[in-house]
Structure 1
Amino acid sequence: MNTDHQFYPYPSKRMAVHGRKGMVATTQPLAAQAGLRIMQNGGNAIDAAIATSACLTIVEPNSTSIGGDSFALVWTKGKLHGLNASGPAPQSISIEKVKSMGYDSMPGQGVVPITVPGTPASWVALSERYGRLPLSTVLQPAIDYALEGFPVSVEIGRYWNIRFHEFKNKFKGEEFAEWFKVYAPNGRAPYIGEVWRAPDHAKSLQLIAETNGEAFYRGELAEKIVHCVNEYNGFLSMEDLARYQVEWVQPINVNYKGFDIWEIPPNGQGLVALLALQILKDFDFHSKDSVDTYHKQIEAVKLAFVDGLKYITDSRSMSVTEKELLSEQYAKGRRGLIQDEAILPEAGEPIPGGTAYLATADEEGNMVSFIQSHAGDFGSGVVVPDTGICLLNRGSGFSLNPEVANRLEGGKKTFHTIIPGFITKDNMPVGPFGIMCGMIQPQAHVQIVMNMVNFMLNPQAALDAPRWRWIKEKLIEVEPQFPDHIAQALIRKGHAVQRAIDSGMFGRGQIICRDEKTGILTGGTEPRADGSIAVW
């Protein structure tokens, strides 16, 4: 994998960034700088990841919050570790109860889709197991930004304003009143460049820091969360919060062209990316910008996604295992379905056997791939009074069809869209990578991995390249800058191609790679966002 600067025929806002002692890459400059300061003040890459994550809940509030979920892949002491900090549905919820409230499918906002938040528990778990500094020190930059305020950055301000106008017309119930009080204090979204302060967020972060997370799951904050949800006929209870524990999991991988690509196992959709790469690995790709390359990528992703949507849910409820889905025999059968024309994908039968991303690395060799979300911009839209905590709506991913794998059940985790990625080669770390934004994530993982492995693009060029995303059946959407001659050639192969008017739904990613021989770090950050790399 080449991390040197090189020519690429698409416009780039940035060049790849190099450093030696430490690097933080994320979608907001203030959060990246906060993580770097933690490293410069004696913390490691894990401390920096926690600090950056906490800051993102303040400086990028449309994408993530204290009341969201998280996943992480952590390379430390020669091994990769996985953390699943997604939360389950409340124990008392059921398909019957939700349907009795008049719903035919899970609602997107309000109290019904609220699940147990896992992000604060992820900070505690990472700090206790791998961190060097006290959690109170690591969370202090986020507390400072919340108290003192910060000027809203460009892309975040744009989406904040869009959501305000949507919510103004949509959110009429009393349960949404606190959202407008906190996030539209002047009767509007903050302007780009305007200072926004979040004193309630600061108080909540301070309580989490002082109690090592206990206040959120068993104390003062837990009581306020449950009172708020129950006041509007939700299902979350004190017991749901008190019993919550993060899961340390064994990451899953496939070997693609000599590189091991790692993801978190289900309930996350990282398995979809691995399924697609497993299908693609035996093809030869000679040019990035050829219709054959794009066609095979799209067909493999389609096949992987229909399998993922059929089978992925809480791992305890899956009818097949990731090992069965990733078997060579199964991949061979799926690979054989890819012909010269676009197909309508169908799930196979294997033989039994609103998001923010960040990456950090330090000079000791620690590296973190961390992703967090409250699902959809501003999650459920329900903000707990006097806390600033915007609760997630991850339960909206459940199905009310009792016959499908991802059906709603109390205490169960839903199919989860947010996925951190990591690359190794010969049992040595290459580095963390990730793309945020719903169902594009595994599709973009495939495109990013192939950009770097097959076509030798450096991290920044790999992110700059135009993307496509599969929507359904034979329909794909391409970015405005996607080459027209390729789009036309894909149409001739039977794909239905539509061109997006902007790049808002094509994900925002970060990549850090380490050169094994020199230890030099090379980073790329997303040109579609306010991305930034802080480095020393």
Structure 2
Amino acid sequence: MKPFNAGRAPVYARHGLACSSQPLAAAVGRDILRAGGNAVDAAVAMAAMVNLTEPMMNGLGGDCFALVRFDGEIFALNGSGRSGSRCTAEAIRAQGHSRMPKAGAATVTVPGALDGYLALHERFGSMDLADLVAPAVDYAEEGYPVGLKIAQVWHWGASKLQHFNTMPEAYLPGGRPPIAGDIFQQADLAATWRRIGRHGRAAFYGGPVRDAILDIVNSRGGFLEAVDFDTVQAEWVEPIRAKYRDHTVLELPPNGQGIVVLEALRILEDHDLKASFASDEAVASHLILEALKIAFADAERHVADPRFRQAPVERMLSDDYIATRRSLIDPARALDNPCAGRVYGDTTYLTVMDKDRNAVSLITSISDVFGSGLIVPGAGIVLHNRGADFELEDDHPNVAAPGKRVRHTILPAMLLDPAGEFTMTFGCMGANMQPQGQVQILVNLLDRGMNLQEALDAPRVRVLDGRRISAEAHADPRVAHKLAAMGHQVSVGDEIPQDWEAPHDFMRSFEGSAQAIAISGSALCGASDPRLDGIAVGY
């Protein structure tokens, strides 16, 4: 018998399994499955719950992406909203900005998350929408205890709410962020979700809620019009895919950054990572970091709303192109390539699988900690700042323009085995850590032979910008020292800053939080990342 290991073990269940970074959300998903709901029903109920329990990370004011396996087929849903009718690079520059602001009304695009949830429910749901959102409504009215790690991020984002709202009490009760164990209630959000359960899309994209969003955004210099809310934001799209170690990885296409995962994996496939990790983990981590930097640079150059500019996805994944990009890696020295995408970012990933092995891989986000910072009065909605990722250079593929989807950071994933059979649903939250977490989880599983929980637990590295990286604490401190000797600038920042605008590496040092469910014979195997408060729970 091996010595006792106090770390987490994978969770096994026979019929259904739900994983979330928030325990109450995972429990709600499990309960929906036990009540006869399918994976999509459970995912919608969980999405409503994480809106309440992780409000600095996601919610009705944000976007979502999803991969769905249903009756043996896999579907992809882009639930990212479009920019306002008056949003142009010229209009933003006229406000005095030489680059996109980080928060505030100018960064608010039409929220797409609810359209995404409703599209999922309309196509695959089996239970009444009002019943699915009822647990979140009840918890919002009665209150729930705030988790330890979520309370820390809440504390960090409090200064943003105070900066952008004259009355931030909706999420700062008593004028302060809740601490772990405090009971948090949100009656306004409960009422909004209850109306959505009864009336669907019209309860958010029309009427008083829409008008309240328009009032606060446009009174602060935003670019939305009522007509922008009439367009359905969610869109069914075709997944993109690539092979790694004979497995097939599925991602969302642009405007998402799933291409980063696929390109990085293709670059790495020519390397014997199993041997590299066995001989020198720093060398293996260096290869992963360099592959990711190259893939990020390509995404920054090409990924945008495909209705405005098509990314050359097929070309970017072709053998000859991958070979040229792979040749850039110096096995002993860090590249200076700039990486793409937001370093900071708050997002929620959840996944669920039911007794028929239908599955949902869903990620939902308000982009940054408390998004734009704007709370919609009387609705309990925090609006995202997804538009902050637009560019202001007129010739850039991702330049701000009316009715345009921004280059997006969020990405759910699924995995097929070498026979082409569905085997796993997984994802990792955390801005530009999302593709990096996915790549390292797959390397841990397919190269290093770890079990599912070990693959999520293992120390990670993270590309930041230029040669800057972060590296988690490791049993072997020489790993970070060796990476530094290769030219990587290793950043740390574990203390929580007092101001969301303060230059600080607090969230840069966060290596994301992942969830995963895999088919294991006749059972399901689930894992939840210990980096947040989550659990995997089944029946």
The alpha-carbon deviation at position 225 of structure 1 amounts to 1.5
Taking the aligned partners of 1:111 and 1:482, their CA distance within structure 2 comes to 45
Task: Give the structure 2 partner of residue 422 of structure 1.
Answer: 414
The alpha-carbon deviation at position 489 of structure 1 amounts to 2.3
The alpha-carbon deviation at position 346 of structure 1 amounts to 4.7
The alpha-carbon deviation at position 162 of structure 1 amounts to 2.2
Task: Give the structure 1 partner of residue 82 of structure 2.
Answer: 88
Taking the aligned partners of 1:470 and 1:152, their CA distance within structure 2 comes to 31
Report whether the alignment pairs 1:521 with 2:524: yes
Task: Give the structure 2 partner of residue 490 of structure 1.
Answer: 483
Which secondary structure does the structure 2 equivalent of 1:472 belong to?
A: coil
Task: Give the structure 2 partner of residue 25 of structure 1.
Answer: 19
Task: Give the structure 2 partner of residue 474 of structure 1.
Answer: 467
Matches within 5 A, 1:126-525: 126-165=120-159, 167-168=161-162, 171=163, 173=164, 176-178=165-167, 180-285=168-273, 286-288=275-277, 290=280, 291-318=282-309, 320-346=311-337, 354-425=346-417, 426-481=419-474, 483-501=476-494, 504=507, 505-515=510-520, 518-525=521-528
User: Letter of the aligned partner of 1:514 in structure 2?
Assistant: I
Task: Give the structure 2 partner of residue 102 of structure 1.
Answer: 96
Cα root mean square deviation, aligned: 2.0
Asked if 1 retains the 8 angstrom alpha-carbon contact of 2:414 and 2:426, the reply is yes
Which secondary structure does the structure 1 equivalent of 2:166 belong to?
A: helix
- Cα distance change, pair 342–196 in 1 and its aligned pair in 2 (3 A): same
Which secondary structure does the structure 2 equivalent of 1:288 belong to?
A: helix
Task: Give the structure 2 partner of residue 14 of structure 1.
Answer: 8
Taking the aligned partners of 2:6 and 2:43, their CA distance within structure 1 comes to 26
Gaps (5+ residues) in structure 2? 340-345, 496-505
Asked if 1 retains the 8 angstrom alpha-carbon contact of 2:428 and 2:437, the reply is yes
Asked if 2 retains the 8 angstrom alpha-carbon contact of 1:62 and 1:159, the reply is yes
Asked if 1 retains the 8 angstrom alpha-carbon contact of 2:108 and 2:385, the reply is yes
- Cα distance change, pair 233–495 in 1 and its aligned pair in 2 (3 A): closer
User: Letter of the aligned partner of 1:102 in structure 2?
Assistant: G
Quick one: percent identity of the two aligned structures?
A: 36
Taking the aligned partners of 2:7 and 2:62, their CA distance within structure 1 comes to 31
Q: Deviation string for 1:23-77 (max 9, x for gaps)? A: 1101010111111111111101111011001100001111111111000001111
Q: Deviation string for 1:96-137 (max 9, x for gaps)? A: 111111112111221110001111111111111011111111
Equivalences, count: 517
User: Letter of the aligned partner of 1:534 in structure 2?
Assistant: V
User: Letter of the aligned partner of 1:410 in structure 2?
Assistant: P
The alpha-carbon deviation at position 429 of structure 1 amounts to 1.1
Asked if 2 retains the 8 angstrom alpha-carbon contact of 1:153 and 1:193, the reply is yes
User: Letter of the aligned partner of 1:135 in structure 2?
Assistant: L
Q: Deviation string for 1:308-358 (max 9, x for gaps)? A: 11111112233542111111111011112223232435589xxxxx10000
The alpha-carbon deviation at position 219 of structure 1 amounts to 2.8
Taking the aligned partners of 1:306 and 1:192, their CA distance within structure 2 comes to 39
The correspondence for 2:535, drawn from 514, 532, 535, is 532
User: Letter of the aligned partner of 1:468 in structure 2?
Assistant: V
Asked if 1 retains the 8 angstrom alpha-carbon contact of 2:338 and 2:465, the reply is no
Tell me which moved more, 192-201 or 280-289. Answer: 280-289
Task: Give the structure 2 partner of residue 351 of structure 1.
Answer: none
Taking the aligned partners of 1:501 and 1:224, their CA distance within structure 2 comes to 38
Q: Deviation string for 1:274-326 (max 9, x for gaps)? A: 11001111222214352331121111111111111111111223354211111
Asked if 2 retains the 8 angstrom alpha-carbon contact of 1:86 and 1:246, the reply is yes
User: Letter of the aligned partner of 2:538 in structure 1?
Assistant: V
Which secondary structure does the structure 1 equivalent of 2:77 belong to?
A: strand
Taking the aligned partners of 2:125 and 2:251, their CA distance within structure 1 comes to 22
Taking the aligned partners of 1:347 and 1:13, their CA distance within structure 2 comes to 36
- Cα distance change, pair 306–30 in 1 and its aligned pair in 2 (3 A): same
Which secondary structure does the structure 2 equivalent of 1:74 belong to?
A: strand
Matches within 5 A, 1:36-115: 36-115=30-109
- Cα distance change, pair 512–390 in 1 and its aligned pair in 2 (3 A): same
The alpha-carbon deviation at position 212 of structure 1 amounts to 1.8
Which secondary structure does the structure 1 equivalent of 2:138 belong to?
A: helix
The alpha-carbon deviation at position 165 of structure 1 amounts to 4.2
Task: Give the structure 1 partner of residue 500 of structure 2.
Answer: none
Taking the aligned partners of 1:148 and 1:73, their CA distance within structure 2 comes to 32
Taking the aligned partners of 2:40 and 2:209, their CA distance within structure 1 comes to 25
- Cα distance change, pair 15–6 in 1 and its aligned pair in 2 (3 A): farther
- Cα distance change, pair 376–17 in 1 and its aligned pair in 2 (3 A): same
Taking the aligned partners of 2:354 and 2:287, their CA distance within structure 1 comes to 37
Taking the aligned partners of 2:372 and 2:484, their CA distance within structure 1 comes to 38
Taking the aligned partners of 1:311 and 1:437, their CA distance within structure 2 comes to 22
Question: Given the two structures, how large is their TM-score scaled by the length of structure 1?
Answer: 0.93
Asked if 2 retains the 8 angstrom alpha-carbon contact of 1:6 and 1:457, the reply is no
- Cα distance change, pair 419–6 in 1 and its aligned pair in 2 (3 A): farther
Asked if 1 retains the 8 angstrom alpha-carbon contact of 2:107 and 2:387, the reply is yes
Task: Give the structure 1 partner of residue 502 of structure 2.
Answer: none
Taking the aligned partners of 1:528 and 1:203, their CA distance within structure 2 comes to 32
Asked if 1 retains the 8 angstrom alpha-carbon contact of 2:161 and 2:374, the reply is no
Which secondary structure does the structure 2 equivalent of 1:404 belong to?
A: coil
- Cα distance change, pair 482–391 in 1 and its aligned pair in 2 (3 A): farther
User: Letter of the aligned partner of 1:329 in structure 2?
Assistant: D
Q: Deviation string for 1:227-281 (max 9, x for gaps)? A: 2222223211111011133110111111100111111001111111111001111
Question: Given the two structures, how large is their TM-score scaled by the length of structure 2?
Answer: 0.92
Taking the aligned partners of 1:282 and 1:344, their CA distance within structure 2 comes to 19
User: Letter of the aligned partner of 1:510 in structure 2?
Assistant: Q
User: Letter of the aligned partner of 1:393 in structure 2?
Assistant: N
